[in-house]
Amino acid sequence: MGEEFKVAGQTMPTITIGYGVFLIIWGLTISLISESNSITSYAPSMAGLPLAISGYMANKTPEKRKLWMHIAVLFGVICAIGGTRFFMVMSDGINYATGSMLMLLITGSLYTLLCVQSFRHARMSREE
């Protein structure tokens, strides 16, 4: 089990960078398409930036990888928790805002699950 944890052949820092960039693009795109003047429409982008930076730093400074990945999972949890607001507004129907909340709920939960699996894998590898 000493091998590094990978998903679809990608390491968690690489997945983190990809997820962060996805969130940045999502927030910018939805804000532009919806012509929203609300700062909250940029919430995915605001969560994506620290994710992308954390993934980059985890790759760049392997000795601090554990720290950067723990910071990254914190933002993944924030995305998932922020997405739970979808359940409060879903009766309004699916629009740009509710769609973004649902996306944050699903992707934040999935990303957090992958991080937990990665952390468990690292712990089991250390114990061997």
- Residue ranges of domains in the chain: 11-127
Residue 1 has pLDDT above 60, yes or no: no
User: At which residue do the structure tokens 């909250």 appear?
Assistant: 40
Q: What share of the chain is helix, strand, coil (3-state, %, to 5)?
A: 80, 5, 15
Q: What is the mean pLDDT of residues 4-15?
A: 92
Asked if 45 and 26 count as a contact pair (C-beta separation under 8 A), the reply is yes
Residue 59 has pLDDT above 60, yes or no: yes
Q: How far is CA 112 from CA 16, 19, 45, 55, 122, in A?
A: 10, 11, 17, 14, 15
Nearest to 23 by CA among 86, 108, 94: 108
Tell me how far apart the alpha carbons of residues 74 and 62 are, in angstroms, rounded to a whole number.
Answer: 19
Specify the higher pLDDT residue, 1 or 78: 78
For 74-111, the pLDDT digits (tens) are 999 999 999 999 999 988 888 999 999 999 999 999 99
Q: What is the mean pLDDT of residues 110-125?
A: 94
